[in-house]
Amino acid sequence: MVRRASLRVDGYVFLLPEQVDGITEYPFYANVMALSSESATTRSIDLDDPPELLAHFVQVIATAGTSRTTAPATGAESARRTSKYAFTPTSIQAVVHDYITSPEHRGKHPYVFVESVIHALAVRFQPHPGILIRLYDFQFGMLGLSILHFAPFGVQQRMMWLNAGGVNMQNFSAGVAAPKPPVASSVGDLVDAARMLCRYGQEFFVQPVRDVLEALLDFLQQLDGWDSWMPSDLPHLVYWANSVLEQFRSHVHASDGDVHTSSLQTIQRLSLNDGELQNVMHALTRRSAHCVQSQGNQQQRPSPQVPARDRVSQRQPRIPPAIFDLIPTHNGLPVCLRYLSVMGCPSGSSTRCVFGARAHAAPNNLDARVKGHIIQRMGGLSEQFSHL
């Protein structure tokens, strides 16, 4: 009776015959079976000199086995994974991005996302890599982005910028710094930038984020209606707008993605009642009061020859109709805005208004646009009514 001994070497099995009586003789043949996932092939070889030939064959098979390697990844995937210029957001960045990004763009590979933004029709600002990798997760304020980074950037500007070759448009690594934002010369520059950011948001952000951006745009448009702004005021206003957007991102992250509530909290700040904005407006109020001081002194001495109703008709056009409709009323009469302001009503009375059909009373609240008119035209609210 003959039984077979086996030897396994690196995926190959050698089957060798052996005598049962305990005396092992070298076989006259050996069956070598190569095992693989696809098929098993069997080869028979005659061994004239079995020990040496078998040993040599085992060595060849073992050497061949060690040289087998896994097929490499495709060139594009490998380059993207290993390139030092690839965009690799942190886990926090990825989480915030998923919270704020529209379903159409959520889930894209980060590198694919920022590359696609470059040529998106919704991008009308400078598509600098340092801006795009921060916009990926809304990094405003101290994190690097300014609302002025989104100033309109036309085709001619883009062409000149690219021809100058001042930036590597293939480098989206974390080390890329955001460019210095342009300097605003008017509130209108902030309005234009906010409008471009809203345009981007319509394509890439979820609705609660778009609500914040649109509310900011509306508020900046209200402020743009004032003519008391000076260039020295604008950096403070830009800083405030950036801090509002930065806080929104902080709320989103801290609330584990409750974008809706974070949006409502942020929109509440977009008014003249915001504490930080009041600090910004303080210098504007003082300057407005100084500018109207001489004018106010003359207005406080009405001519006795002119009837009160005629004086009312003279002063009425100073209040735009859109503002006049928002003035609160008391007993059916609109409240005297001069009475609420630091200038005060020329009558000097707590009940009688020199301008005729006006009420001297403290309203429960005051629309932001009416308050803005008082700040711009009358130097701001008096201390008595500063809480409005």
For the cut 60, the answer to whether the pLDDT of residue 204 exceeds it is yes
Closest-CA residue to 17 (of 6, 9, 8, 35): 6
pLDDT score, position 251:
97
Per-residue pLDDT, averaged over 358-367, amounts to 86
Specify the DSSP element, H or E, that contains 6. Answer: strand 2-9
Binning pLDDT at 50, 70 and 90, where does residue 199 land? Answer: very high
First to last CA, the chain: 110
Q: Which residues does residue 42 pair with via DSSP β-bridges, in sequence order?
A: 33
Q: What is the pLDDT at residue 35?
A: 44
Global pTM reads 0.59
Residue 199 tokens read as 């345009």
CA geometry: angle 382, 385, 386, nearest 5 deg: 75
Give the separation between CA 34 and CA 14, rounded to whole angstroms: 9
Q: What is the pLDDT of residue 192?
A: 95
Mean pLDDT score, 104-113: 93
3-61 confidence digits (pLDDT tens):
445 555 445 555 555 555 555 554 444 444 444 444 444 444 444 555 565 565 556 55
Average of per-residue pLDDT values in the chain: 78
Q: What are the residues whose beta carbons fall under 8 Å from the beta carbon of 52, sequence distance 6 or more?
A: none
| Domain boundaries of the chain, sorted by first residue | 2-66, 84-229, 295-385
User: Among 60-74, 211-225, 244-258, 341-355, where is mean pLDDT lowest?
Assistant: 60-74
| 3: β partners | 18
CA 44/CA 221 separation, integer angstroms? 90
pLDDT at res. 278: 81
Structure tokens at 246: 């930065």
- In this predicted structure, the answer to whether residue 215 has a pLDDT above a threshold of 50 is yes
> Of 232, 281, 257, which is closest to residue 381 (Cα–Cα)?
281
Tell me whether strands 329-330 and 41-46 are parallel, antiparallel or unpaired: unpaired
Q: Name, in order, each residue with C-beta under 8 angstroms of 154's C-beta and a sequence gap of 6 or more.
A: 124
Question: Which residue from 147, 117, 141 is spatially nearest to 129, judged by alpha carbons?
Answer: 117
- The Cα 246–Cα 269 span in angstroms is 12
Stretch 201-218: mean pLDDT, rounded?
A: 96
Concatenating the DSSP letter of every residue in 146-175 gives: -GGGGS---HHHHHHHHHHT-S-TT---TT
Q: What is the pLDDT of residues 293-330, one digit of tens each?
A: 555 555 555 545 544 444 443 343 357 777 877 888 88
Predicted local distance difference test score (pLDDT) of residue 344: 82
What is the C-alpha separation between 61 and 56, in angstroms, rounded?
A: 9
**pLDDT reading at 340 higher than 80:** yes
Q: What is the pLDDT of residue 197?
A: 97
CA dist 257 and 278 (Å) reads 30
pLDDT of residue 309: 42
pLDDT for residue 281 is more than 80? no
**% of the chain residues with pLDDT over 90:** 37
- C-alpha to C-alpha distance for 217 and 193, rounded to whole angstroms: 9
Structure tokens at 371: 């308050």
Q: What is the pLDDT of residue 70?
A: 44
Tell me the Ramachandran region of residue 356: left when phi exceeds 0, alpha when psi lies from -120 to 50, beta otherwise: left
What separation in angstroms does the CA of 348 have from each of 133, 135, 272, 345? 59, 54, 28, 6
